[in-house]
Structures are given as structure tokens and as C-alpha cells.
Structure 1
Amino acid sequence: MKLDFNHIQAAHCENGVTVGLLKNSGVQQITEPLAFGIGAGLFFVYIPLLKINNGPVIAFRTMPGLIFKRTCKALGIPVVRKKFRSKEAAERFLNDCLTEGHPVGCQVGVYYLPYFPREYRFHFNAHNLIVFGTEDGNYMVSDPVMEGTNVMSAYELERVRFAKGALAPNGQLYYPKESKPVTDEQIRQAIKSGIKKNVFNMISPLMGPIAGVNGIKYTGKKIKQWRDKLGRKEAGSYLAQLVRMQEEIGTGGGGFRYIYGAFLQEAHAYIPNDELLEISTQFTASGDLWRESAIQAAGIYKGRLGTREDFNKMGDYLLEIAEIERKAFVALKKIKWH
């Protein structure tokens, strides 16, 4: 049984799943930048006490699942979301959804995805894909970061749906509860609410020193201390973690900033305020600096660089990025919405 579903390739998995599921549900205006912006997806947090792959957690986007949840809520679309203790119950519910005509989003672990190149497989459990059919005990999968669709056996799908470790998915699946089109006015209001939420998440002092633009600044200052405090080897592994979280998991630091800039450009079609276009260029500049910082970090952890000055330069990149993003979000906060 294969549902009528169009595969959509995207830069980031949850954005792509959100677009795929919503287009399938009748929301034809949705694009990856709109989903990311309406879902207030841009973020930063540095959590040194929580480790993934022996490095601190560094995230460049909001928590997994929130982009889909926020986008649907802003557009007035109810959502079904379930986790499971039993693998049998998870498979049974998935099959029921497909029988009822619902393609479903699934949170999965990356490490055992059979169609991923080996060099991209590591223990990260917040990847997202869509299951849109089943045949002869196998499942048809639309993974937005892949060019085309794939087929997984029941065992392969179960294995990634119940991957162990941090952010364990526990068989989680989700989908829009009903299919309905939305109006341009709904999109317009959703854009406004998404921007306001992202402004709060990035510049509110309530988010604390490790999150938002304060978190970028905090991390930049810490990087300057890593060489002397941790030693070159561990400091290099921490920077490798930063680059992995930035460039390999999802779209990462630079890519997300480019997507947010594209969101503001697309928002201009619904809210013709030229300030949105001007501010979008600041996020492009931030994205460029994130990419430059990744090159600097790679030089350090690969051993080409390693002096205290090299670490200071790396930290300065983040301090500059923090200031650019702070100014951009302050400018967004000051926009007068009509």
C-alpha cells in the first residue's frame, strides 16, 4: 500500500518533513524557509554538562519536534503525536495510520539508517523522516535530506525508531490530524508570531547565559580558554564537536542562518516591509561567519593550527557572530506590524 505522496528534498530534515506533511494536507503555500521561520527554528545553546559523542551539546536550532509543532499550531492545524514503550504497539499504530491514509513523520536515530553513507552515520537520535507506504513487510521512506525515496525493512525501521541514547525517539511519530488548506492571511499572522517567538528565544535574558545570542557570546569566551584549560587534544575534540553539530547534523549553524534569511525574504511577499529584506542580509552575513569559523575550528582539530592565538581567533568569530545576530533580532523586535 503506497499513499499518494510527493517526496520533497530539503536542506534540513524537520523542515522537510514539516513541508512534506503539510503539503500533503493541503497547505500549498508552505516552503522550507516558511516552515523554519514560522516554527521559530533558529536558536543556539551550549550545554557543557550534557555530552553527545564525548563532546558538549551545542545546538544551532530549536529542540527537535518544535518546528513541526509550532508551525501547525500557528496555522490552526491539530497534530497527532505519540511515543511508545512497546515496539509492537509502535508498528501496529504506524500501520493503522498508513491504512487510514496518513503519511507520518518519525523521529529516528541516524547510526543504523541503511541508506546513509557510512561516513555520515553516528549516534544522533533527532533525525526525522516520513513513512508513506508499506509493501511485503517493507516500508517506503521519504527522507528529506536524500535525493529520492528509500525502502526499509520492518526491522530496519524499528531499529532506528527505538535507537538508544540521548534524545532516544521511543518510536515517536506525528502527523497533521486533518487535511485543510490555509489562507494567505493565516500565513501572514503565522509569520508574525514566528518572528516574535524567535526574537524572544534569541535575545531574552530569561533564556540564560548559555542560550540565544548570549549563549554564542558565552561559547566564544569559553573557546578562548579551552586550550589552556582542557589541553590541545581535548580542546580540539570539543571544536570537532562544534563543527559536527554545526555542519553535519541537520544543516547546522551557517545553513540555518541562510534559511532564516530566506524566510525573511519570503515573508516580505506576505508582509511588504522592506526592513525584512534589510535584516535578512544580516543573517546571511552571520551564516558566512559561521562557515568561516568552521574552517578555523577544523584547522585546529586537524592539527594545522593550535596556538593560543588560533583559539582566540576562533572565539572572536563567535563574539562577532553574537553581535550581528543580536542586532538583527533587535531590529526585528522593533518592526511595527500593521
Structure 2
Amino acid sequence: MKIEEVPQDLKYCEGAVMRDQNYAVDEEGRYHMVKSDGWAPKNDALDLALEEDKDKEERSRMAMRTSTDFQGFELPLSHQPSAHCENGAISTLLRYYGIELSEPMIFGLASGLFFVHLPFIKMSGMPVTAFRTFPGVLFKRITKLLGIKTETRRYLSQERAMKALDHILIDQKTPVGCVVGMFDLPYLPPEYRFRFNGHNICIIGKDEKSNHYCVLDSNATQKVTISREDLMKVRFAPGGTYPLLGQMYWIKSVPEQLPDMKTLVVKSIRKTCWYMVSQPGFIHIAGANGILYLSRRIRTWEQTMGARRAKLNLAQLIRMLEEIGTGGAGFRFIYGAFLQEAAEKTGLSFLNDYSVRITEIGDLWRVFAYKASRIIKKRAGENYTYDDLADLLQVIGDKEKAFFRELAEAVR
């Protein structure tokens, strides 16, 4: 995706502090992070999902409450937007300890790129499809790789969870990452709120008088605040794919010297390639095999589910593919930016060629999302079918299989 192609289809973001961040290339093929006001295929998918949403009545009563005024204890951390929430939260925690790693480097070093289609795990009653590792894995991987000591806690008691947060934040003067549910986040536009319990934010301050916390949400354009009551609610959000139990995480100590970057890059690329193409054949739901598996399944959706249900499944797939800021490429653009930056930092110039190739694959994922959205909301002269989508997924799956096999060979 080129910079001029970054979508600016403002609809649900108007008047909100939330904006998508996309990775796109300039005329020379260099990656940049570019702000986006939304994407029409995602809006189409969201429109359909909202029509069927059992929480529609509750959402209609919601008001977006955005406060950026904060007075109280606050750690010296600036706000930096990112394309994805967990990358952004990790970046914030690392920056506090003087470790400057870009979002693409965090994502790539943590071997965050993945694919899995899980028909037996449901979100909003429909199968989960993931284009990256599961929430929480990135933090564990990147800190282990860098030799950083961390701690993650979950709680049965809401009050204990909040007291523990205050202790780490105020007494130990340490920023804290929290995993929260999106449905009750007050500064999100109501239309963006669905029961996904895997959003990451970073708590960096507290005003004891107002009982509000200062939040760095990397999908926002600036610092925001949240009340103690609201923060407790989203930390223990019900529903979703799994219970949250007040999950929070933080860094305890960092090494005096970080490991050699070239060694880390090669190791992480090998691991990503293994996840994508070296899974046993019987694990047909994951990696490039998973893309081909989805291709076979999607071909039968309309016949087996009926037109309405098939469209709802497409809508969920588009939302997971876009997942706030990936540009509709399922994190392929972020990985392309990682390979490009890794080539600069390590001298492994051949990684630039692979950056170009994964960018082209990301563009195909965007075409898939566009065609899927046209099935959801037909336009004159555009008559795409589920067979068309299945055929395109077959092409993408074959290309990703070849890409990761060749990349693995190149870094051997």
C-alpha cells in the first residue's frame, strides 16, 4: 500500500480521539506510519455487524466520554500512536527504561506474524480468525528475547486488582500495561465497541482527588483519562473470548546491555517462518495451511449457512483482518516494515527484497477485504462471489507458503 492509498473514509471516528495508524510505502519504497480516518470495507463490515449486534440497544444509550485534562501523579512518558495496541503498550514500557524499539521491530522480533482459523472458538457467535499471535504473547516473547525481567498478574478480586495497580504505579513508579475489554471503554466511539477482551493500554498516572487514571492508548491521538470505576469495569469485562481477571503486566528490570541485534533478527525470522510453514500437515488450521483451509471453507459458506449468516462471517473476517490500523493487510505491512528496518540495522540487505514481497502479499489481502465488503454491500457493476474469495485465498496461501519457505532458507 502506498501512502496516497491510505484510506481516509471518515465515518465512525468523527469527533473521537481514536484514529487508525497504517504502514505504507513512499515513492522510493520506504515504509512510514500514516494516520488513517477509517476504511470503507471495514465500515461496511461494521454496519452489518452492528445491525445484528445483541448489544445494539445498550450501545444506542452510550455516550462517548473523552477527557484529556489530567492533574495528579504522572510518569514522564509521552504519547506515541501505533498501528496495534499491544505493540504500542510494549513500546511505552520499553521507552520508560530507555529502550527505543520501533513498533515494526517489536512485532518482528516477537515473531508476531501468524495466521490461524479457529471454527471451534467463537466471538460474537462466529469463528475466530487471527492474523497475529494471541494477545499477551508479544510481550512475553520480546522481553524474554531481550533478557528483560517482567511480571504478569491476574486477580479474582476487583479491589485487589486496583490496589495492586496503584502499588506498582505510584509506590514503585512503574508504568503498567493492562488488558481490557473494548465494549465499555468510555473514550471509544460506541460503534467501535464490541466484546473483544484483548485490548492493551498503559496506565502512567493517577489523580487521587478525581480518582481518574492517565492512560496511553496507542490507538488514540493523545493521552486520555479513565475513572477508577470504568477502569475496574473494563479490566474485568465479561463475555468475549476469555475472562480477563484484571490482567496487568509490567517490567521489573532490564539488562545493562541488550543482545546482538543481528542474532535476534535472524532468530526471530526463523521462528516466524516455522510458525507459518513448518507446522505438521495435520495442523491444517494454522500458518499458510490455515489460509488454504479457510479458502476451502469460505467456498461453501453461502450454501451451508445461508446468505445472511455467510455475510456476517465475512464481516467478522474483515474486522479481524483490519484489526484497528493494519490497513486491511492482516499485519503483513507491519512485517514488511520490520524486514526493511532489520535490513538497515543488520546489514542483511536481502531482507529488503522480502520486504517488497510481503508488501505485495499484504496488498492482496486488501483486495480480498475489498471484494468481501462488496459481497456484504453490493455496488453496481461489482458482482463478486464466494468462489472469487476462495480463489484469491488460494493464491494468497500459496504465495505465503513460498515466501516463508524461501525466507527461512535465506536466513539459515
Fold shared per TM-score above 0.5: yes
Q: 1:238 aligns with which of 309, 313, 319?
A: 313
Gaps of 5+ in 1: none
Q: 2:114 aligns with which of 43, 49, 53?
A: 43
SS at match of 1:254: coil
Between stretches 116-125 and 171-180, larger displacement belongs to: 171-180
**Counterparts of 2:109 and 2:140, CA distance in 1:** 10
Matching of residue 224 in structure 1 with residue 299 in structure 2: yes
Aligned partner of 1:310 in structure 2 is 385
SS at match of 2:253: coil
Structure 1 contact 265–276 (Cα < 8 Å) conserved: yes
**Counterparts of 1:266 and 1:126, CA distance in 2:** 28
Q: Which amino acid aligns with 2:263?
A: Q
Gaps of 5+ in 2: 1-72
Instruction: Report the count of equivalent residues.
Output: 335
Aligned partner of 1:214 in structure 2 is 289
**Counterparts of 1:229 and 1:249, CA distance in 2:** 30
Aligned partner of 2:215 in structure 1 is 141
Matching of residue 16 in structure 1 with residue 79 in structure 2: no
Matching of residue 288 in structure 1 with residue 359 in structure 2: no
Structure 2 contact 375–383 (Cα < 8 Å) conserved: no
Structure 1 contact 111–124 (Cα < 8 Å) conserved: yes
Q: Which amino acid aligns with 1:23?
A: R
**Counterparts of 1:258 and 1:60, CA distance in 2:** 12
In the TM superposition, what whole-angstrom CA distance separates every residue of 1:134-160 from its partner, at most 9, and x where no partner exists?
Answer: 002110000011110101000010011
Matching of residue 196 in structure 1 with residue 266 in structure 2: no
SS at match of 1:177: strand
Shift in Å at residue 271 of structure 1? 2.1
Q: Which amino acid aligns with 1:118?
A: P
**Counterparts of 1:188 and 1:32, CA distance in 2:** 17
SS at match of 2:197: coil
**Counterparts of 2:260 and 2:233, CA distance in 1:** 39
Identity rate, percent: 40
TM-score by length of 2: 0.78
TM-score by length of 1: 0.94
Structure 1 residues 66 and 59 mapped into 2: Cα distance closer, same or farther (>3 Å)?
A: same
Matching of residue 70 in structure 1 with residue 144 in structure 2: no
Shift in Å at residue 336 of structure 1? 4.1
Q: 1:1-338 to 2 correspondence within 5 Å?
A: 1-28=73-100, 30-99=101-170, 100-135=172-207, 136=209, 137-165=211-239, 166-180=241-255, 182-183=257-258, 185-206=259-280, 208-249=283-324, 251=326, 254-304=329-379, 310-336=385-411
SS at match of 1:134: strand
Shift in Å at residue 270 of structure 1? 2.5
In the TM superposition, what whole-angstrom CA distance separates every residue of 1:279-324 from its partner, at most 9, and x where no partner exists?
Answer: 111110111111111111111122559x996111111121111122
SS at match of 1:59: strand
In the TM superposition, what whole-angstrom CA distance separates every residue of 1:188-222 from its partner, at most 9, and x where no partner exists?
Answer: 22222211111111112337100111001110111
Between stretches 174-183 and 130-139, larger displacement belongs to: 174-183
**Counterparts of 1:124 and 1:50, CA distance in 2:** 13
**Counterparts of 1:182 and 1:223, CA distance in 2:** 49
**Counterparts of 2:409 and 2:204, CA distance in 1:** 43
Structure 1 residues 170 and 43 mapped into 2: Cα distance closer, same or farther (>3 Å)?
A: same
SS at match of 1:206: coil
Structure 1 residues 198 and 316 mapped into 2: Cα distance closer, same or farther (>3 Å)?
A: same
SS at match of 2:203: strand
**Counterparts of 2:330 and 2:127, CA distance in 1:** 21
Structure 1 contact 98–132 (Cα < 8 Å) conserved: yes
Q: Which amino acid aligns with 1:223?
A: I
Structure 1 contact 78–176 (Cα < 8 Å) conserved: yes
**Counterparts of 1:213 and 1:300, CA distance in 2:** 24
In the TM superposition, what whole-angstrom CA distance separates every residue of 1:229-255 from its partner, at most 9, and x where no partner exists?
Answer: 211111111111101111145637505
> By percentage of residues, which structure has more helix?
1
